[in-house]
A and B are shown apart, each in its own frame.
Chain A
Amino acid sequence: MAEEYNISVVGQAYLLRPDTPKEGIVRQPRPGETHDLLSEPLRSQAGDANLVMRPPRVTPNTMYILEATEHAQQHGKFMEFHHAAYQAYWEDRKDLGDLSVIEEVAQSVSLDSADLLQKLETNFYTPTVMEQYQQALQYGIRGIPTFVVGNLMFTGAHPYDIFQSAMQRVLES
């Protein structure tokens, strides 16, 4: 979308499962899943949105990776880092609760991983992430991804033409 429109993107953390233990949970396969494909309706939704989503091995506690993404955002690399972390989890089935995986993701987008790990270990970004999550709850957001495009809000990983239609409405308003 950034290639087609003049936009500024802001990422805000949301804790979809804040009760997940720090070590994560081994994920049990869902009925209808295969090694490479999720069950429906996620399988079709991912296909419609051109996303690769393989069944993950682990449901991680995402606090560290959300904090790491905020670190990337503050260094001007939100989109790059987010894509790399998404790929590590959904395509490569890596555990995003594992600091060594986060280190790899950071290095893949040329972030100073030693600086990042030091900030994660000292909870430097925890207040920022919690503030973003609390703001979402105050706004009534109960699922992700939730987008605000100009003055329009919607939830879900929709096909690109939905974003185009939303952008058109915003620009014509």
Chain B
Amino acid sequence: MRHRQIPLVNPRRVPIQANGKEFVMAEQVSPAQDPTQPVRVIVWYDYI
């Protein structure tokens, strides 16, 4: 299974539009998502 890189090496900033607002996210140029594979979601969390 091919995983995309974590977007940390010289990411570009991209605006994401949602519900009339704009958020800026960091995006790594990487191979296209394989539609047959799940999209990997990583969450760093704490509870406080």
CA of A130 to CA of B46 in the docked complex: distance in angstroms?
13
- Considering only CB atoms and an 8 Å cut-off, how many residues of chain A contact the other chain? 55
A 95-109 contacts with B by CB, 8 A? 96
Pick from B7, B19, B47: contact of A153, CB under 8 Å: B7
CB pair A151 B41 closer than 8 Å: no
Q: Which residues of B have CB within 8 Å of A147?
A: 41-43
CB pair B25 A173 closer than 8 Å: no
CB pair B7 A5 closer than 8 Å: no
B 3-48 contacts with A by CB, 8 A? 4-8, 11, 14, 16-19, 23-30, 32-33, 35, 37-48
When A7-B41, A153-B26 are in contact, do A96 and B47 touch as well, CB less than 8 Å? yes
Judged by a CB distance under 8 angstroms, whether A38 is at the interface is no
CB pair A141 B44 closer than 8 Å: yes
CB pair B33 A171 closer than 8 Å: yes
When A165-B18, A166-B16 are in contact, do A8 and B38 touch as well, CB less than 8 Å? yes
Q: Which residues of B have CB within 8 Å of A12?
A: 42-45
Name the distance in Å between B9's Cβ and chain A's nearest Cβ.
10
Binding site for A on B (CB under 8 A): 4-8, 11, 14, 16-19, 23-30, 32-33, 35, 37-48
